[in-house]
Chain A
Amino acid sequence: MELKLSPEDAAFRDEVRTFIAENYPDEMRVPNPETDLTKEQSLLWHRILYKKGWIAPLWPKEYGGPGWSITQRFIFEQETSRAGTLPPLAFSVTMVGPVIYTFGNEAQKKRFLPRILSGEDWWCQGYSEPGSGSDLATVRTKAVREGDHYIVNGHKTWTTLAQHADWIFCLVRTDPNAKPQSGISFLLIDMKSPGVTVRPIITIDGSHEVNDVFLENVRVPVENLVGEENKGWTYAKFLLGNERTSMAGIGRSTRYISKLKQIVKAEIPADDPAHLEFLRDIARVELDVLALEATELRVVAQMARGIDPGPAASLFKIRGTEIFQDITELTHRAIGNYGLAIREHPAGANHFMPGPEHAHTASEKYLNARKLSIYGGSNEIQRNIIAKAVLGL
């Protein structure tokens, strides 16, 4: 399904397509790019996009964005996702960058934005805490002003790829007496500061994506406060809005469905009744993708005409993640007995893995995808958002 494109937009699509085909590093074509690449490897594509000037589609031109229209941004997203490229680190480019250029001061913009674009700085997100998941406004990590510094104490968790991070953007409590939402500030912390400790959390798929981050008497210069003290909740909500855009994941789901079809063809004989059952289940999830894709194109076309999409991002997050979970589950079922095996991490150490190659990542993907309906505002929170904003409940 294609958006109806003007000749200019169609030329742009071809340009993006060719650029990806000619420039995406072979080194990054590994079985599971999200877990199998070193930090340096995963930055290769980032640096290529940076050189091309395409690293930050969302950013205004004055800060280093390419100045694309909504349609062009969507085309870029569609093409990179269809080609299976690893997206640049969202915490840097999509999340903290826009907060800094929207709410930060000139010195912060000058200091941080170029290093985000170039990939010199790797950012992680200090939001969740052991006691603050969906109810994020209850964060307890404390920042107490002492002269020109804040002294920060607390425990952040589920911090994605903190093991690679140079910086962490944190929600910290600066006014313990205010209402939960109004005592929070948005603070940028250098991960090399004394008192910052990262402890890996290994998830059920065996991979190391998330971490605990402990902050013990960390001294943070006051110039690292973004915007005003105690206004951090506003910035945090702004950022979460960005996190949910483009979570429909049409390109990714489409790629995984075609892989699933190949697996079913290879693993299940056509005269087995299970074959028909798989064909039906695959068709159903394929139609889910088609309907979501048609919805995404409808919303993009409306946005290009200046119509506010409302909480469409919540709809995309809910359906996009549910669909991808279904696909990974079907794939895991399709490989039958081989679904018992799982690759060891770190990958690439030549561990033995039974079964055909196309089955090797099915187990870990199936397990890893359970996170999708939990993170980025759980799907229940997204339903609350739609209930309030659209249904007026």
Chain B
Amino acid sequence: MDIQFTEEQELLRSSVQRLLRDQYDFEARRRIVASEEGFSRTQWQAFAELGLLAAPFSEEAGGLGGGPLSTMIIMHEFGRHLVVEPFVETVVLAGGLIEHLGTPEQKQDLIPGIVDGSQLWALAWTEKASRFDLANVATQARREGSDYVLSGEKTMVVAAPWADHLIVSARTSGGQRDRGGVGLFVVDRHAAGVDLQSFKTIDGRRAAEISLRGVRAQLLGREGEGVGALEACRDRVIGALCAEAVGAIGELNSATLDYSKTRKQFGTTIGSFQVLQHRMVDMFIAHQEALSLMQHLTLSLNSGDAELSRLASGAKSKIGYAGKFVADQAVQLHGGMGMTDELNVGHYFKRISSINIQFGDPAFHVLRYAQLDAAA
């Protein structure tokens, strides 16, 4: 049950660690976030050169065949360093959808640009009314020859301002909340009729409101398979986000522990107070449990467990609550310093808060976990 890394996986982890330690400390990240574009193309190329962008893809698709385990390893380290570059959006979301849903030609056509770092992607599924429901799609797709034409509004599309391409969910038939009739479409972000309103997110990323007016698009895979593909994609991205959260939780715990051993009040280190010791023990336990569940989910993603989707929701919820607890306490135990932009603690807090919103918050997923229970 304890994941023992193979030599290759150990190599992957140590090389990501080395790269981030050398080039992505908190000050470097601050400069990247404050830059004009808000992310670093140099870093992205470095990720490509290290093989990170190829790691999870199958070998037939031009990847390294590392699967969900390699995603876990990478995202865990990215979580520790608060990496803002759109690995999740480009590799896990778009890459995963292309690999699992795309035609052989589309895979051949689109995956190499992801792997070599030249093309960035974003996934536009959220709409004003959708909240966390993947099937709630008002955007329309109309067939025109071998292409489709899309019209509608997408909202809160993370990484869209950086993207060269979008994957957009849109309806070819059915009512707004029907599971059937939804397809996924590849859109050139600079195509005519695509309009972006960009803005900053709480965790230092960029996102956009997107309006699509008669935009020419290419269907990914087949018509009507969109919701099923998005659901499977959500299970995978939950694996990635959980690993990222666990990385962040671990960093928050060590930062808080270190601080409690140096910060003095009432003539002694605050770590000597039992109330804070017990709080930090609970943070430690939350981290251990989250780590175990992350590994369990990754192994299930790897083997394609029958209860995978239920487990993914369970992990998203449990790790979400754990992350929220640890982040709250980390800020609290750092006192006023925890509130400052200068310290990394608040930035982890914001990333964990964002993770908890993306693809469904803990409350949404705990109910989904309950409702997928055959025994209830």
Contact A290 B314, CB 8 Å, known A1-B296, A261-B375: yes
Contact A292 B289, CB 8 Å, known A302-B2, A393-B277: yes
What's the nearest-Cβ distance from chain A to residue B327, in Å? Answer: 18
Closest residue of chain A to B286, judged by CB?
A291
Q: Which residue, A284, A287, A301, A305, has most C-beta atoms of chain B within 10 A?
A: A287
CA distance A1 to B2 in the complex (A): 13
Does B257 have its Cβ within 8 Å of any Cβ on chain A? yes
Are A290 and B293 in touch, CB under 8 angstroms? yes
Q: Which of A265, A284, A288, A391 meets B281, CB within 8 Å?
A: A391
Residues of B within 8 A of A291 (CB): 289-290, 292-293, 318
CA distance A287 to B366 in the complex (A): 9
CA distance A141 to B293 in the complex (A): 47
Are A387 and B277 in touch, CB under 8 angstroms? yes
Closest residue of chain A to B273, judged by CB?
A393
Contact A283 B284, CB 8 Å, known A3-B1, A291-B318: no
CA distance A282 to B366 in the complex (A): 10
Contact A383 B376, CB 8 Å, known A4-B1, A290-B293: no
Contact A294 B280, CB 8 Å, known A279-B371, A301-B1, A302-B2: no
Q: Using an 8 Å CB-CB cutoff, how does the interface string of A349-393 with B read, 1 for contact, 0 for none? A: 000000000000000000000000000000010011011001111
Residues of B within 8 A of A299 (CB): 2
Are A301 and B296 in touch, CB under 8 angstroms? no
Contact A287 B277, CB 8 Å, known A294-B293, A297-B2, A391-B257: no
**Interface band, chain B:** 35 or more
Q: Which of B278, B318, B367, B376 meets A265, CB within 8 Å?
A: B376
**Interface band, chain A:** 35 or more
Does A56 have its Cβ within 8 Å of any Cβ on chain B? no
Q: Is the interface of B mostly helix, strand, loop or mixed?
A: helix
Q: Which of A4, A258, A276, A384 meets B375, CB within 8 Å?
A: A258
CA distance A390 to B290 in the complex (A): 17
Does A300 have its Cβ within 8 Å of any Cβ on chain B? yes
Are B1 and A283 in touch, CB under 8 angstroms? no
Does B288 have its Cβ within 8 Å of any Cβ on chain A? yes
Q: How many A-B residue pairs have CB under 8 A?
A: 114
Residues of A within 8 A of B289 (CB): 288, 291-292, 294-295, 319
Does B370 have its Cβ within 8 Å of any Cβ on chain A? yes
Does B271 have its Cβ within 8 Å of any Cβ on chain A? yes
Contact A387 B366, CB 8 Å, known A3-B1, A295-B289: no
Residues of A within 8 A of B271 (CB): 391, 393
Does B35 have its Cβ within 8 Å of any Cβ on chain A? no
Does A124 have its Cβ within 8 Å of any Cβ on chain B? no
Residues of B within 8 A of A386 (CB): 281, 284-285
What's the nearest-Cβ distance from chain A to residue B118, in Å? Answer: 39
Q: Which of B278, B291, B367 meets A279, CB within 8 Å?
A: B367
Does A280 have its Cβ within 8 Å of any Cβ on chain B? yes
What's the nearest-Cβ distance from chain A to residue B76, in Å? Answer: 15
Residues of A within 8 A of B295 (CB): 294, 298
CA distance A380 to B282 in the complex (A): 11
Identify the 8 closest CB pairs spanning chains A and B, nearest first: A297-B1, A294-B292, A283-B370, A291-B289, A301-B2, A387-B277, A295-B292, A279-B370
Can you list 8 A-B pairs, Cβ within 8 angstroms, ordered by A?
A: A294-B296, A300-B1, A302-B2, A305-B2, A318-B285, A383-B278, A384-B277, A393-B280
A interface residues, Cβ below 8 angstroms from B: 1, 3-4, 258, 261, 264-265, 276, 279-280, 282-284, 286-288, 290-292, 294-295, 297-302, 305, 315, 318-319, 380, 383-384, 386-387, 390-393
| Given A3-B1, A294-B1, A301-B1, 5 more pairs with CB closer than 8 A | A264-B376, A279-B367, A288-B318, A297-B1, A393-B280
